[in-house]
């Protein structure tokens, strides 16, 4: 069964940094489009960052100067490097893997990120 495992969440101070990881148990990781979503209490789930199988990136306006998405196809892993963190970044973060032409859409279990002093 395909699994997306997300270690790396936790508590961080405002202005601090944190890196999230997501490892996918798929055979050919490089062909998947990868993304990070987040959902805060009482709010809609939103796309934070995405990286296509071709290497194209896009970000939510609220994070584009602070967060960086990257991937290591040799490790079947996508990363979200977060810096200059704000309390408004507090949310559960979810990893997503999509292979649209085959209708595959997989989600990680989510990891809590809390930004607070």
With CA atoms as reference, report the closest residue to 22 among 107, 83, 114, 113.
107
User: Does residue 55 carry a pLDDT above 90?
Assistant: yes
Q: Do the beta carbons of residue 8 and residue 21 sit within 8 Å?
A: yes
Instruction: Give the pLDDT confidence of 73-100 residue by residue, as tens digits.
Output: 999 999 999 999 999 999 999 999 999 9
User: Does residue 8 carry a pLDDT above 90?
Assistant: no
Give residue 1's pLDDT. 82
User: Does residue 7 carry a pLDDT above 90?
Assistant: no
pLDDT classification of 104: cutoffs 50, 70, 90:
very high
What mean pLDDT comes out for the span 34-42?
97
Q: For the sheet containing 77-82, what is the strand order?
A: 4-5, 18-24, 77-82, 67-72
């Amino acid at each position: 069964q395909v699994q997306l495992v997300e270690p790396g969440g936790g508590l961080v101070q405002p202005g601090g940094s944190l890196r999230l990881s997501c490892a996918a148990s798929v055979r050919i990781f490089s062909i998947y489009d990868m993304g990070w979503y987040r959902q805060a209490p009482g709010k809609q789930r939103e796309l934070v960052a995405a990286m296509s199988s071709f290497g194209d990136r896009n970000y939510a306006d609220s994070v584009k100067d602070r967060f960086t998405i990257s991937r290591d196809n040799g490790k079947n892993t996508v990363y979200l490097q977060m810096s200059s963190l704000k309390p408004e970044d507090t949310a559960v973060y979810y990893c997503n893997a999509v292979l649209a032409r085959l209708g595959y859409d997989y989600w990680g279990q989510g990891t809590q990120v809390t930004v607070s002093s």
